[in-house]
Amino acid sequence: MKRIILMLFVVVAASSPSFAKVDLVTLPSRDTVQLTIYNSADLTLVRESRGLTLKEGANSLQFSWANTLIDPTSLGMLPKASADKIDIAELTYPPRVRNLGLWNIESGVSGKVPVEITYLTSGLSWRAFYMGTLTQNEKAMRLQGYVRVTNNSGEDYENAQTRLIVGKVHILDEIAELARRQYPYGRPGEVVPRPAAAPVERVRARGVRVLEAAVAGMPERPKEIKKEGLSEYFLYTIEGTETIPTGSAKRLLSFEVDDVPVVNLYKYEEQRYGAGVVRFLSFKNDEEHNLGDTPIPGGRLKVYRNADDRGHLSYAGQSSFKYIPVDEDVELNLGPVANVVVEPKLMDYKTENHRFDRSGDISGWDEVRKFTIEVKNTRDIGVKVEIKRNFDTPYWKLDRGGDFGDFEKVDLDTVKFTLSLTPRSAKKFEYTLRTYHGERQEDWTGARS
Amino acid sequence: MNTKTKSTIVLMVVLSIGSVAFGRIKLVALPERAATVIRLDNPAATLIEEERVLTLQQGLNNVDFSWKGVSIDADSIRLQALDNPDKVTLLSVSYPPNEAALVWDISCKGDFAETVRISYLLSNIDRLITYKAVADKAETAVDLKSYLVLRNFSGEDFEQARVLLDYGEAFEQGIDHEETKQMLFLRAPKVPIRKIWTFDAAKLPWDPEKLENQNVGIPVSYRIVNDAGSKLGKFAMWGGKARIFQDDGHGSTIFLGEDVAPLVPVGEKMELYIGDSRDIVVTQRKMTDTRINLRKNNKGRVVLYDTDEVITAKIENFKDSAAALTMIQHIPGQWDMDKCNLKYVKKDANTLEFEIELPARTESGPATKELTMHYHRRNIRQ
């Protein structure tokens, strides 16, 4: 539906913009339109180019946007030719009229002048989502990234150049709230109410039907999405133009990489994940992993596994991940599993080195705990296992033995053991943890690792 | 007075013979509003000055000034004779009961037309300032535009008025009740900017690994100095909402973000927070935090101690361009630094500021710097 209407009034009497003296009205149509859609906020920058036929002297241009979600304070107009001869004197929001702006233009030229109109609107959104397909040995994954663009703005944007912004933009007011205001800049002394509900929810509540894919006249190959960095953002420009009517959505392929080597990483950390092992798929957004051209926007990934040679799939799980800069590690949490097991066992406990104060009460002691950790890989593929242990005190000493792999002190009270296990194998290691309490902390000489 | 809508502010010269009693009015003159000034130099209140020509008679004159549907501060109303101030004397001001009005008793030494200026504070008419800045692709300068937004919800239409701000030239502008007008009033091309990334350890999470699927955004700001070097510096810049765009190198722009600019006096700097960078990652951890130098009372209880603390912070730049990160660390109470591998400036007793230059990411990975701060907090009472 076309709801944004542009009217040009050429005013005969140059001294007054009064409507009664209008002698000509033209409705310049959009020549081109560009949408720059953000995903960290409900925000789209719209840039339209239109050709205005101006008359020398005063011209009045009416722009109306009833039933759309345009922020009226964001309206801007720039002449793209004869800019030095065209003065856009003011933008008036007339009294007792809603969703209407009036530009008063002083023109030193007469004839057709291309202008660019920009504004911010709410209601268009995009999100990234991914599909991963693991090889049978789970050593590599085909990764497909998609973007889905949804238009609930109330306006049809036909043949729009569509651009998507990856990044976290700082905004003060919700555009949807600015669009709903009775007066564009509010009233003096008015306390501006905060938006009541997220616009996405509102759209769902209305039950708008969302259409997937199905693009008319799709050429033989999917459209390319060009990616480039700008400031702290990444700009995705979709090849050609798109028509996304209001109420509809479109899915586009953002990238497809066949062989991303992945590590099957399993983590155990009682404080964070409880008593179970959590499976992660790990890879890096770099060249070695056939990636690394651009950051990967955050989104949800569904992971499948090739189940047999005939292309049947099994579903491995899904994970959301955050924005991944180039060269950063990706860890996809696929949830708890039972086929890799980490079993810490307290084998011995004692207290010793007691100190007593003048009243004969205990003022210091050590606690000594001996743990055995058994790690079992029941899968038919090799895995990497990370075990983190938290001690709740910075006064500790640790002695370890057995096959504990790589050891690292993470912070003042956390250590990490990293082990690699071949298919269907088990490893076992021990450590003895001495913690210092009360006055015994005075005898502590630093964590030994 | 305005001809388009009903008048709400009315001035009447009540010509009476021999008496001030309203019941004996013989003639009422309604003088037209002449030059009107809307003065918006005080953000808290708007001063209206209007000139009118009063036809005065020798002797006592009553001038009735009333308003309806508008909010005028009655104590702010002033009257000034402009042509013959020595022959026109304001004797008293009276307020009729239950009415938004006042009556001036004016003594006049002759029969003549006198131009008077009436001034008063009018509510619900004000101005806002907004900024629009377009940064170049390299983010070294912005084309800055500032707009004046006049909002009139006073109840009164002003067909034509001189609008005055505290700087810049006055301009003629009409504005009706419930009308909002936006006008360009400052254009400053190529104002130099400095882009700043800030990690404040008191405001941002330390260890991104502990957050589930969440990036820690490092706030990014543009700094503009209001001085001649920036082609500004002629007057204080009023506070207002600033929207920042960037040239995308393809003849278009992207929206970078928005912030509220504070009032910036000449010579001062304005910092506009535009968004968060997720390509600079800070992982800060406390590696040691123990008590040392314990001092005990006679009962053997610790009453005073120092601490031994080590904080490390790994800073990674995943961007393909260099960046300067301002890192702010806080150490409470009395403290001394044992060892710190990066230079810092002590901003106040408890705040340390590091300027960390980060080169661009290379083929081998992100540019990484590490901060290690080994310090002691002193004389902490138990």
Is any Cβ of chain B less than 8 angstroms from the Cβ of A83? no
Residues A374 and A310 in one domain: no
Nearest C-alpha neighbor of A43 from the set A164, A139, A212: A164
The predicted model gives B4-33 an average pLDDT of 57
By percentage, how much of chain A surpasses pLDDT 70? 87
Question: Cα(A157)–Cα(A121) distance, rounded to whole angstroms?
Answer: 12
Q: Are the Cβ atoms of B276 and A168 closer than 8 angstroms? A: yes
CB B132 within 8 Å of CB B164: no
CATH of domain B280-381: 2.60.40
Residues A388 and A350 in one domain: yes
Residues of chain B with CATH 2.60.40: 280-381
Chain B environment of A185 (Cβ under 8 Å): 128, 149, 151, 180
Number of domains forming the structure of chain A = 2
Please check whether residue A283 lies inside any domain of the structure: yes
Chain B environment of A357 (Cβ under 8 Å): 299-300
Residues A426 and A372 in one domain: yes
Q: Is the ipTM of this complex over 0.85?
A: no
pLDDT digits (tens, 9 = 90+) for A68-93: 889 999 999 999 888 888 888 799 99
CB neighbour list of residue B44: distance below 8 Å, 6 or more residues apart: none
Q: In this structure, what CATH number is given to the domain that contains residue A432?
A: 2.60.40
CB neighbour list of residue B70: distance below 8 Å, 6 or more residues apart: B8, B9, B122, B123, B154, B155, B156
Which of A204-208, A386-390, B236-240 is predicted with the least confidence, judged by mean pLDDT?
A: A204-208
Domain boundary among A330, A360, A380: A330
Residues A347 and A437 in one domain: yes
Residues A345 and A439 in one domain: yes
pLDDT digits (tens, 9 = 90+) for B108-151: 999 888 999 999 999 999 999 999 999 999 999 999 999 999 99
Q: Of B213, B255, B318, which has the smallest distance from its Cβ to A322's Cβ?
A: B213
Residues A325 and A344 in one domain: no
The predicted model gives A220-242 an average pLDDT of 86
Domain boundary among A305, A330, A355: A330
Amino acid identity, residue B6? Answer: K
Q: Are the Cβ atoms of A187 and B135 closer than 8 angstroms? A: no
Q: What is the pLDDT of residue B345?
A: 95
Please check whether residue A126 lies inside any domain of the structure: no
Q: What is the pLDDT of residue A137?
A: 84
Domain that holds residue A273: 260-330
Residues A308 and A401 in one domain: no
Please check whether residue A76 lies inside any domain of the structure: no
Please check whether residue A408 lies inside any domain of the structure: yes
Please give the model's pTM, rounded to 2 decimal places: 0.81
Please check whether residue A407 lies inside any domain of the structure: yes
CB neighbour list of residue B352: distance below 8 Å, 6 or more residues apart: B328, B329, B330, B331, B344, B345, B346, B373
Please check whether residue A413 lies inside any domain of the structure: yes
Q: Are the Cβ atoms of A91 and B278 closer than 8 angstroms? A: no
Is any Cβ of chain B less than 8 angstroms from the Cβ of A235? yes
Residues A434 and A344 in one domain: yes
Nearest C-alpha neighbor of A152 from the set A128, A190, A126, A134: A126
Q: Which residues of A421-446 are buried (b: 16+ CB within 10 A; e: fewer)?
A: beeeeebebbbebbbbbebbbbebee
Q: Are the Cβ atoms of A295 and B275 closer than 8 angstroms? A: no
Please check whether residue A255 lies inside any domain of the structure: no
Residues A323 and A346 in one domain: no
pLDDT digits (tens, 9 = 90+) for A254-276: 889 999 999 989 999 999 999 89
Query: pLDDT class for A22, splitting at 50, 70, 90?
Result: very low
Q: Are the Cβ atoms of B124 and A188 closer than 8 angstroms? A: yes
Please check whether residue A365 lies inside any domain of the structure: yes
Distance from CA of A152 to the nearest CA of B (A): 20
The predicted model gives A263-290 an average pLDDT of 91
Q: Of A43, A92, A272, which has the smallest distance from its Cβ to B179's Cβ?
A: A92
Chain B environment of A169 (Cβ under 8 Å): 255-257, 274-275
Residues A348 and A436 in one domain: yes
Q: Are the Cβ atoms of B273 and A170 closer than 8 angstroms? A: yes
Q: Are the Cβ atoms of A325 and B139 closer than 8 angstroms? A: no
Domain boundary among A307, A330, A353: A330
H or E element at residue A188: none
